[in-house]
Amino acid sequence: MKKIRIGMLGLGTVGSGVVRIVEGHQEDLQRQTGAELVLSKIAVRDINKSRKVTVDPALLTEDPWEVINDPEIDVIVEVMGGVEQTKEYILAALDKGKQVITANKDLIALHGPEILAKAAEKRCDIMYEASVAGGIPILRTLVEGFSSDRITKIVGIVNGTTNYILTKMTQEGASYEDVLVEAQRLGYAEQDPTSDVEGFDAAYKMIILGSLGFHVHLSLNDLDIRGISKVTSDDIASAKRLGYTIKLLGIAERQDDLISISVQPTMVKDSHPLASVNGVFNAIYVYGQAVGETMFYGPGAGDMPTATSVVADLVAVTRNLLTGINGSRSSMIMNEKKLKSDEQIVSKYFMRLHVADKAGVLAKITQIFADYDISLESVLQLPNNGTDEQETEIIIITHDASKAGLNKALAKFEEIEVVKAVRSVYRVEG
Ligand SMILES: NC(=O)C1=CN([C@@H]2O[C@H](COP(=O)(O)OP(=O)(O)OC[C@H]3O[C@@H](n4cnc5c(N)ncnc54)[C@H](OP(=O)(O)O)[C@@H]3O)[C@@H](O)[C@H]2O)C=CC1
Ligand SMILES: N[C@@H](CC=O)C(=O)O
Ligand code: NA
């Protein structure tokens, strides 16, 4: 039986899962591919570190170039993270005609076009199913399952760490800091968890989803990005009171070839299926012109779910190696990218305003909204909590409004004396 030799970069959370699956499911994998999958070399930072899996110490090296330059190795599995240096390793591996599998969304989102071009030039596979939504086979679904349709909207909970934090804050009143530490311990968070909580990890994943779904090269500058670090327990309580749940949503839309894409904490109506996606689970809603609404659900992070996707790529690459068709998917004709302006981005919004508690205040506020063509769905004045009888809070949900109009109204609130503070603003979905 033909042997396919695998060189790994990284043996942490995901890498350990890959070793477990390749070893534990070897017989099934052989039956499916017709080849033996052999782990040949593994680069780590510290070969003396204790590991979650047992591997032959002779396989380990602290020099990734030893893996890349090994002429026996057919496939590089990159599960170490990092961007610039890692890009160098991957480009070098492709240059040597090796197939590449990666779980690295930062790398693909930031340097995808260059890496894909190199893979196409060398007729090599570059596969990255694990980079988006851990265990959900969403990239293959977008590229293959939806190849007959025109995708118009992708809405996703695509970061497990923040969904885990928001769920614990909502259901148990847990503190943001405590839950973040727990998510790190469980292997969900990135090496630098700022990427999770400030929305960058989700943004990288939305860039990948949007690029594959709409056939354009999206980049970081195309997104509005807001994370969850400023979501307060008061916001969560207000959402609950009105029948909403706060979720960090990535939203990519295409309308007449105009695209908008963002990542932001969003008020999701409790009746919407995304509102009940909890814990480390992810879900991606895909709207296609022909198919209508579809939703894909599963674990978004963690060792075994993520490794499932890596090894599925390994099966696909192995099959391609045996039939000699590697690289056939690396080139795709891309559309010209046209982004919506702020006037064209339309949504409902929720906001909490801290205002003076006196006659005429509400009239002033609604007039400002009217000046910018924003009509209101509901206005709720909270009972004064007694700490300051001169001031109170109102909660507003708008009808569909342009982002430009909303920003102008918010700037106006800064100027008028009766609005003491804009406490929070959220997009509303569902
Ligand atoms: N954790 C998750 O749930 C998911 C992670 N990912 C992505 O998978 C990748 C890996 O994540 P994860 O497994 O969590 O990360 P870990 O930090 O758990 O593992 C990283 C591994 O890479 C090794 N490594 C790091 N830098 C180097 C280097 N310069 N040279 C050699 N080895 C190096 C580390 O070595 P050592 O062990 O010696 O320190 C470690 O084995 C990242 O790109 C991440 O974004 C994607 C989906 C889900
Ligand atoms: N840190 C990421 C890991 C998977 O991509 C997450 O929390 O989703
Ligand atoms: Na996936």
Report the CATH number that the domain containing residue 404 is assigned in CATH: 3.30.70.260
Structural domain containing residue 209: 138-299
Interior/surface letters 320-341, b for 16+ CB within 10 angstroms, e for the rest:
bbeeeebbebbeeeeeebeebe
> Looking at residue 337, what is its pLDDT?
96
Indicate if the alpha-carbon torsion angle 104, 109, 114, 119 is positive or negative. Answer: positive
Distance in angstroms (rounded) separating the CA atoms of residues 193 and 207: 19
247 and 177 fall within a common domain: yes
Is 291 a member of any domain?
Answer: yes
Site of tokens 């350990």: 16
97 and 159 fall within a common domain: no
| Nearest to 310, CA basis, from 36, 78, 12 | 78
Site of tokens 């603003």: 425
Is 339 a member of any domain?
Answer: no
**Helix%, strand%, coil% for the chain, nearest 5:** 40, 25, 35
192 and 258 fall within a common domain: yes
For 359, residues 6+ apart whose C-beta sits below 8 A from its C-beta are none
163 and 286 fall within a common domain: yes
Q: Is 13 annotated in some ligand binding site?
A: yes
Is 22 a member of any domain?
Answer: yes
310 and 287 fall within a common domain: no
Is 7 a member of any domain?
Answer: yes
Q: What's the structural domain count of the chain?
A: 3
> Looking at residue 381, what is its pLDDT?
86
Residues, CB within 5 angstroms of ligand 3 (ion):
129, 132-133, 136, 138, 309
- Residues touching ligand 2 (Cβ under 6 Å) are 134, 159-161, 188-190, 196, 201, 300-301
Atom of ligand 1 nearest to the CA of 46: 38
CA 41 to chain centre: 30
Q: 79: domain CATH number?
A: 3.40.50.720
| Nearest to 103, CA basis, from 306, 318, 330 | 306
Whether the ipTM is more than 0.90: the answer is yes
> Looking at residue 334, what is its pLDDT?
85
Is 336 a member of any domain?
Answer: no
Say what the pTM is: 0.97
Indicate if the alpha-carbon torsion angle 11, 307, 161, 406 is positive or negative. Answer: positive
Is 86 a member of any domain?
Answer: yes
232 and 144 fall within a common domain: yes
263 and 307 fall within a common domain: no
282 and 153 fall within a common domain: yes
185 and 220 fall within a common domain: yes
> Looking at residue 390, what is its pLDDT?
84
Atom of ligand 2 nearest to the CA of 282: 8
Distance 157 CA to ligand 1 centre (A): 22
Atom of ligand 2 nearest to the CA of 306: 4
237 and 282 fall within a common domain: yes
Is 331 a member of any domain?
Answer: no
272 and 143 fall within a common domain: yes
| Nearest to 210, CA basis, from 328, 108, 107, 102 | 108
Mutate which of 9, 51, 80, 84 for ligand 1 pocket (most atoms within 8 A of beta carbon): 80
- Residues touching ligand 1 (Cβ under 6 Å) are 10-15, 43-46, 49, 64, 79-82, 103-104, 130-131, 134, 187-188, 190-191, 301-302, 306
The catalytic position among 118, 205, 247, 403 is 205
Distance in angstroms (rounded) separating the CA atoms of residues 264 and 246: 10
Pull the structure tokens for residue 380: 């709720």
Is 223 a member of any domain?
Answer: yes
- pLDDT digits (tens), the chain, 430 positions: 999 999 999 999 999 999 999 999 999 999 999 999 999 999 999 999 999 999 999 999 999 999 999 999 999 999 999 999 999 999 999 999 999 999 999 999 999 999 999 999 999 999 999 999 999 999 999 999 999 999 999 999 999 999 999 999 999 999 999 999 999 999 999 999 999 999 999 999 999 999 999 999 999 999 999 999 999 999 999 999 999 999 999 999 999 999 999 999 999 999 999 999 999 999 999 999 999 999 999 999 999 999 999 999 999 999 999 999 999 875 677 899 999 999 999 999 999 999 999 889 999 999 999 999 999 999 998 776 656 668 899 999 999 999 999 999 999 999 999 999 999 999 999 8
Q: 229: domain CATH number?
A: 3.30.360.10
Side-chain-side CA neighbours of 46 within 13 Å: the count stands at: 5
237 and 376 fall within a common domain: no
Instruction: Tell me whether residue 337 is one of the annotated catalytic residues.
Output: no
**Burial of residue 174, with CB atoms counted within 10 A of its CB: 0-12 exposed, 13-18 middle, 19 or more buried:** middle
> Looking at residue 330, what is its pLDDT?
59
